[in-house]
Amino acid sequence: MTGVSGNASVAVSWTAPTSNGGSAVTGYTVTSTPTSAGCTAVAPATTCTVDGLTNGTPYTFQVVANNISGSSSPSTASAPVTPSTVPDAPTGVSATAGNATATVSWTAPGSDGGSPITGYTATSSPGGLTCSTSTTSCTVHGLTNGTPYTFTVKAMNAKGPGSPSAPSSSVTPEAVVPGAPTGVTATGGNNSATVSWTPGSNGGSPILSYTVSSSPSSAGCTATAPATSCTVPGLTNGTPYTFQVTATNAVGTGPLSTASSPVTPSPNGPIKGYWMATANGTLLTNGAARSYGSPAGMTLNAPIVGFAPTPDRKGYWFVGADGGVFNYGDAGFYGSTGGQHLNAPIVGMASTSDGKGYWLVASDGGVFAYGDAAFKGSLGATHLNAPIVGIAGNGTAGYLLVGADGGVFAYGSAPFQGSLGGTHLNAPIVGITVPADGSGYYLAGADGGVFAYGAPFMGSASGVTNQPIIGIAAGASTGYVLTGQSGAVFAYPSSNFYGSQSSGSSPVVGVSS
């Protein structure tokens, strides 16, 4: 015996008995449990429909066969069958307009028709645009701003969709203010910075303009769309700045973007070329890099270990392992550790962004600040897992130290963006540099591997170089160059390549652009 659910009814079917008791079966009587509802069928029919049942309530059914002698025993009960129908219409439909959208909400119907509701579909008028959900709210997309819409909702269960609800009140989608621009970057210039960004959502109305603001000053700039960059004037060289951008459309001005990474304006930045310093003080120049003298040929108390140019690239400093500093061109002398007792040898130097000072760093993490270079801390007397091998400046008030294990230590205004400390390396780290736009930093390994933090990865010389890499320098506008111990140069992108030179018998110990 089987039953097929209907609306407050079940159609019951059975098989005629194998024995009629010697007299033809004249009919059948069906009864239900838990109620006394039933139905009859005249033979030879073997089906009838039991009405008056309650949707959502399970029922079982039994059948007796009748002939002139009477009624048979009841059949075995059927499996439970639950009558049901489609759900009632949802109620309380409302809508809230957005930009080319409307969010529709409603109350579940009072009756699910005896079968659980499986979902809802909201439909717009005009347009017939829909959204579906298993909850009691969904958002219809693709509407036309300025057009009024109403919405109806249908509930669905296993029987299918029910009748549509009464329509919502009319709502009209409208444009909103633009979303915040993304990917804000800046490149420092002389008392200025050029800021670039990617547009966000236009909010349903064309973006008209962008406004850039700076921190810590009130300086800014505006750009008329579709331009996505402008230059902020009136900044102070040597001071780190961050920048935020807003977009404006006919509705109004949107929220501020996420701030850019800090950028420090300076009279000049990296040039289209680079210097390489060797241990005996020889200076190798490539591209636009010019020589203003060197300690080559001098009797040195300790080998040269580092090199740093002035911001205008019209001068530079050499530093020896004893901390002796040699200045050339417009580079001023602001002090040194030459002749002093050091706990560990000097391994590098970095200049301030205005060129009026510099930092020296020793392999034990000790930092020595001269001129307007602010001392912001050091690792001296701290247990290190690996010796410090390089330093990079950030304005006049911050610097980054890097260890041979890739550990990075940030001080003052220099932002920490990640390190390799605790990571297995194929070769020790030998240097650190900050890209031309001031965003993030790069670490270089002796095998030519490059690790980028907060700055785009451009490539590496890992598996390419046949000589140990000794350092890394920022490219003229983007990327970086790696230098090998014998003077080989690897440029990323290739537009940063301006030639290479053999260092002869004295190894290259520093590179700058």
Range(s) of the domain holding residue 192: 182-248
Domain count, the chain: 4
Strand ranges for 254-294 from DSSP E: 273-278, 283-287
In this prediction, residue 421 carries a pLDDT of 85
Among 40, 71, 102, the domain-final residue is 71
Is residue 383 located within the same domain as residue 494? yes
Is residue 244 located within the same domain as residue 353? no
Query: Cβ neighbours of residue 448 under 8 Å, at least 6 residues apart?
Result: 460, 461, 462, 463, 464, 465, 469, 482, 490
Is residue 121 located within the same domain as residue 41? no
Percent of the chain at pLDDT exceeding 90: 83
Predicted TM-score (pTM) of this structure: 0.55
Secondary structure class of 494 (helix, strand, coil) = helix
Partners of 485 in the β-ladder: none
DSSP 188: E
The CATH number of residue 502's host domain is 2.130.10.10
Percent of the chain at pLDDT exceeding 70: 99
In a domain, 97, yes or no: yes
Is residue 56 located within the same domain as residue 195? no
Among 211, 231, 248, the domain-final residue is 248
- Count of CB atoms situated within 10 Å of the CB of 376: 17
Is residue 487 located within the same domain as residue 359? yes
In a domain, 378, yes or no: yes
Q: Which of 140, 128, 135 is nearest to 107 (CA)?
A: 135
Q: What is the pLDDT of residues 95-133, one digit of tens each?
A: 999 999 999 999 999 999 999 999 999 999 999 999 999
- The number of residues in the chain equals 513
The rounded Cα 501 to chain-centroid distance in angstroms is 41
In this prediction, residue 238 carries a pLDDT of 75
Is residue 292 located within the same domain as residue 427? yes
The CATH number of residue 131's host domain is 2.60.40.10
Give the Cα separation of 75 and 38 in Å (integer): 14
Is residue 10 located within the same domain as residue 147? no
In a domain, 264, yes or no: no
Among 111, 129, 161, the domain-final residue is 161
In a domain, 79, yes or no: no
Residue with tokens 């001080």: 411
Q: What is the pLDDT of residues 293-323, one digit of tens each?
A: 999 999 999 999 999 999 888 999 999 999 9
DSSP 496: G
Give the Cα separation of 504 and 507 in Å (integer): 7
- Count of CB atoms situated within 10 Å of the CB of 341: 6
In a domain, 402, yes or no: yes
In this prediction, residue 268 carries a pLDDT of 60
Q: What is the pLDDT of residues 18-50, one digit of tens each?
A: 999 999 999 999 999 998 899 999 999 999 999
Is residue 324 located within the same domain as residue 357? yes
Is residue 360 located within the same domain as residue 459? yes
In a domain, 203, yes or no: yes
Torsion-angle region of 2 (φ positive above 0: left; ψ -120 to 50: alpha; else: beta): beta
In this prediction, residue 217 carries a pLDDT of 87
In a domain, 263, yes or no: no
Is residue 307 located within the same domain as residue 200? no
Whether the predicted pLDDT of 285 surpasses 80: yes
Q: What is the pLDDT of residues 405-437, one digit of tens each?
A: 999 999 998 899 999 988 999 999 999 999 877
State the SS3 of 307-327. Answer: EEECCCCCEEEEEECCCCEEE
Q: What is the pLDDT of residues 391-407, one digit of tens each?
A: 999 777 899 999 999 99
Is residue 157 located within the same domain as residue 190? no
Give the Cα separation of 343 and 363 in Å (integer): 9
In a domain, 62, yes or no: yes
Is residue 67 located within the same domain as residue 10? yes
Give the Cα separation of 432 and 405 in Å (integer): 12
Q: What is the pLDDT of residues 317-341, one digit of tens each?
A: 999 999 999 999 999 999 999 889 9
State the average pLDDT over residues 77-94: 96
What is the edge-to-edge ordering of all strands in the sheet holding 367-371? 346-351, 357-362, 367-371
Q: Which of 241, 217, 185 is nearest to 437 (CA)?
A: 185
